[in-house]
A and B are shown apart, each in its own frame.
Chain A
Amino acid sequence: MSIFEGLRFKTISSPIHRIDPRAKFIYVCVLFAIAVLFSQLIPLLILFFSQMPLIIIAKLKREWLRLMRGSMFFAAIIFIANMVSLYFYGGTQSLAAVVEHSLAMTTRFLILVESFSIFFATTSPDMLSLSLEQIGVPYEFCFAFTTAIRFVPVLAEEAQTIMDAQKARGLELERGNFIKRVKNYIPILIPLIVSAIRRSMELAEAMESRAWGASKKRTSLYSLKMKTKDYIFIVASIIVLLVSIYVRFFISIPSVTELMHLG
């Protein structure tokens, strides 16, 4: 599941982590817009690599590499699908042009993955839930969201323990035909469900004991305030978008194939 590693938030501190989630969200939208705006390889590659400084500042190099490796399977499918469709149904294009276009589409996909990753890996779910709260989503929903994220690793570990416990009693998950294999999972699912129910009861007790629902006007330890740097970040993102639109419509961009011919 290396692809999810790159999307999982890590508690580290960097200037990117400290940017307001809303500002980051606008930035990601801008990236999406530009990626969709262009369909040529060169601007898309520039866009792809222009994220590198951000990734380095956010200390995400390792996660980025893992994410790219994890995305390779989907990237390959996109590349091949584009190749096949353009080559057979794309008309009179040269092979080089087909390859270039397919690469461009693949790069576009990678940009989408990359920007998602920058957003999720640098925005703590706490902050995300807080920004949801501040735009008016009910607190119960936001609480459920963060609690779910909090318990994902716990449940994953528990599932592993249960699997080990049953394997130690001779359960072989991979044995038998399809129906038998599905049945093999019952001894794992039942303890997992029972334990999740027990856990949720305990959680509810703990919440009640800490005055859940005491006040209609719940306060929060943190509040998100857009600071100057967040506004600068938003303004910069929008300028980049405007420049991109200008470039897209008023400047002609050569393709790699053309450049090679000129050379």
Chain B
Amino acid sequence: MAVIEARNLTYSYPFADKPAIEDINLAIERGEFVLLTGPSGCGKTTLCRCFNGLIPHFYGGKLEGEVWVAGLKTDEHPIHELAKHVGLVFQNPENQLFALTVEKDVAFGLENLGLPRDEIRRRVDWALKVTGIYDLKDRAPFELSGGQQQRVAIASILAMQPEIMVLDEPTSFLDPLSARSILETIYQLNRELGITIILIEHRLDLAARYADRIIVMDRGHIILDGEPRKIFLDDRIKLVGVGLPKVVRLYLALRDDNVNLKRVPLSPEEASRLIAEVLNSDRS
């Protein structure tokens, strides 16, 4: 069974005159790495808030249809119960860290769950090691760089050992190298620990290579859903404000001139390989 399932989901925020998301049908399987993208204001953040019960419990408003997460119907279970299954990492690292030391922050969720102290200690140390910030455990979050803060946020979710992790533009405040290494870490969580990942991201050039599947939203609707290489070839993606990676644009430009690379490249390395193949076969 799908680990996340939305059926005919429509939601309006309180006082809003039209729904933020409309008629969403979606099933995400355990262990998938899903990239959720679309122009600003398309409803992707709203959709993510439905996955851990922030909608409707925290925001109120009007929810129609159903959302099932890890076998739980979200409007029937409180956020803190859903939090054991779904972790949310937000865009601004600064506003999701509360404690005065890193390890205390990572422990926050576990303390709330009332776990025994040695269990908390074990899980905190584990999460800090997995995310590569064990050395920072006694530092204050506000002294850290944005990339390090975002790692703390990921560790604090990881410590709760959720099956699903939802990340809402976790790299948008980071410089390119930090962004890259955060995405690598997220990918590693997916591959090595089997955590289902839903990543909201504008920067497809950095993120597409990790995804099993891309979902594109526009004006509250899902307009495309499928394997990255297929999505990039669909003409509809050009109509919404989604920036295709330059390697994909190069693929398309070459195709227009009847030069066909074997497949759509998702990273520069792959593009180099595919182009070299075409050039070499031409020579021989």
Q: Is A210's CB under 8 angstroms from B156's CB?
A: yes
Q: Is A213's CB under 8 angstroms from B95's CB?
A: no
Interface flags, A215-257, vs B, CB<8A=1, else 0: 1111111110000000000000000000000000000000000
Q: Is B80's CB under 8 angstroms from A147's CB?
A: no
Q: Does A205 lie at the interface of the complex (its beta carbon under 8 Å from any beta carbon of B)? A: yes
Given contacts A214-B83, A215-B114, is CB(A202)–CB(B99) below 8 Å? no
Which of B26-34, B100-108, B170-178, B247-255 forms contacts with chain A? B100-108
Interface flags, A1-42, vs B, CB<8A=1, else 0: 000000000010100000000000000000000000000000
Q: Is B111's CB under 8 angstroms from A208's CB?
A: no
Q: Is A126's CB under 8 angstroms from B99's CB?
A: yes
* Bound-state Cα–Cα, A209 to B87, Å: 7
How many residues of A are counted as interface, with CB atoms below 8 angstroms from the partner's CB atoms? Answer: 35
Q: Is B103's CB under 8 angstroms from A150's CB?
A: no
Q: Does A165 lie at the interface of the complex (its beta carbon under 8 Å from any beta carbon of B)? A: no
| Max count, chain A CB within 10 A of own CB: residue among B57, B83, B112, B115 | B112
Q: Is A215's CB under 8 angstroms from B124's CB?
A: no
Q: Is A223's CB under 8 angstroms from B117's CB?
A: yes
B10 contact set on A, CB distance < 8 A: none
Which of B14-22, B138-146, B216-224, B270-278 forms contacts with chain A? B138-146
Q: Is B112's CB under 8 angstroms from A214's CB?
A: yes
Give the residues from 147 to 189 in chain A that come closer than 8 angstroms, CB to CB, to chain B: 147, 149-150, 153-154
* Bound-state Cα–Cα, A222 to B111, Å: 10
Q: Is B114's CB under 8 angstroms from A124's CB?
A: no
Q: Is B80's CB under 8 angstroms from A212's CB?
A: yes
* Bound-state Cα–Cα, A78 to B115, Å: 53
* Bound-state Cα–Cα, A211 to B117, Å: 17
User: How many whole Å from A21's CB to the nearest CB in chain B?
Assistant: 14
Q: Is A221's CB under 8 angstroms from B124's CB?
A: yes
User: How many whole Å from B151's CB to the nearest CB in chain A?
Assistant: 15
Give the residues from 140 to 169 in chain B that come closer than 8 angstroms, CB to CB, to chain A: 140-143, 156-157, 160
Q: Does B233 lie at the interface of the complex (its beta carbon under 8 Å from any beta carbon of A)? A: no
* Bound-state Cα–Cα, A201 to B94, Å: 13
Q: Is B96's CB under 8 angstroms from A202's CB?
A: yes
How many residues of B are counted as interface, with CB atoms below 8 angstroms from the partner's CB atoms? Answer: 46
Q: Is A150's CB under 8 angstroms from B113's CB?
A: no
Q: Is B138's CB under 8 angstroms from A209's CB?
A: no
Q: Is B142's CB under 8 angstroms from A215's CB?
A: no
User: How many whole Å from A115's CB to the nearest CB in chain B?
Assistant: 23
User: How many whole Å from B187's CB to the nearest CB in chain A?
Assistant: 22
A214 contacts which of B80, B92, B116 (Cβ < 8 Å)? B80
| Max count, chain B CB within 10 A of own CB: residue among A147, A202, A203, A221 | A221
Q: Is A126's CB under 8 angstroms from B101's CB?
A: yes
User: How many whole Å from B50's CB to the nearest CB in chain A?
Assistant: 13
B109 contacts which of A125, A147, A210 (Cβ < 8 Å)? A210
Q: Is B114's CB under 8 angstroms from A209's CB?
A: no
Q: Does A146 lie at the interface of the complex (its beta carbon under 8 Å from any beta carbon of B)? A: yes
* Bound-state Cα–Cα, A221 to B100, Å: 13
* Bound-state Cα–Cα, A210 to B141, Å: 17
Q: Is B54's CB under 8 angstroms from A150's CB?
A: no
Q: Does A204 lie at the interface of the complex (its beta carbon under 8 Å from any beta carbon of B)? A: yes
Q: Does B198 lie at the interface of the complex (its beta carbon under 8 Å from any beta carbon of A)? A: no
Q: Is A221's CB under 8 angstroms from B120's CB?
A: yes
- Residue in B closest to A220 when the chains form the complex, CB atoms: B111
Q: Is B116's CB under 8 angstroms from A221's CB?
A: no
A209 contact set on B, CB distance < 8 A: 52, 54, 79, 83, 87-88, 157
Q: Is B113's CB under 8 angstroms from A211's CB?
A: yes
Q: Does A207 lie at the interface of the complex (its beta carbon under 8 Å from any beta carbon of B)? A: yes
Q: Does B44 lie at the interface of the complex (its beta carbon under 8 Å from any beta carbon of A)? A: no
A153 contacts which of B108, B109, B114, B142 (Cβ < 8 Å)? B142
User: How many whole Å from B134's CB to the nearest CB in chain A?
Assistant: 15
Q: Is A202's CB under 8 angstroms from B90's CB?
A: yes
A150 contacts which of B83, B100, B109, B114 (Cβ < 8 Å)? B100
Known A-B contacts: A126-B104, A219-B114. Give 18 more (CB < 8 A): A11-B140, A13-B138, A124-B100, A126-B99, A146-B100, A150-B142, A204-B58, A206-B96, A207-B98, A208-B79, A209-B54, A210-B160, A211-B113, A214-B112, A218-B111, A221-B111, A221-B124, A222-B104
Top 8 nearest A-B pairs (CB, nearest first) are A215-B114, A214-B80, A210-B109, A206-B96, A221-B107, A202-B95, A211-B80, A211-B83
User: Can you report 7 A-B residue pairs in the complex whose CB atoms are below 8 A from each other?
Assistant: A126-B99, A146-B99, A202-B90, A205-B88, A208-B57, A218-B111, A220-B107
Which residues of chain B have a CB within 8 Å of any CB of chain A? 52, 54, 57-58, 79-81, 83-84, 87-88, 90, 92, 94-101, 103-104, 107-117, 120-121, 124, 138-143, 156-157, 160
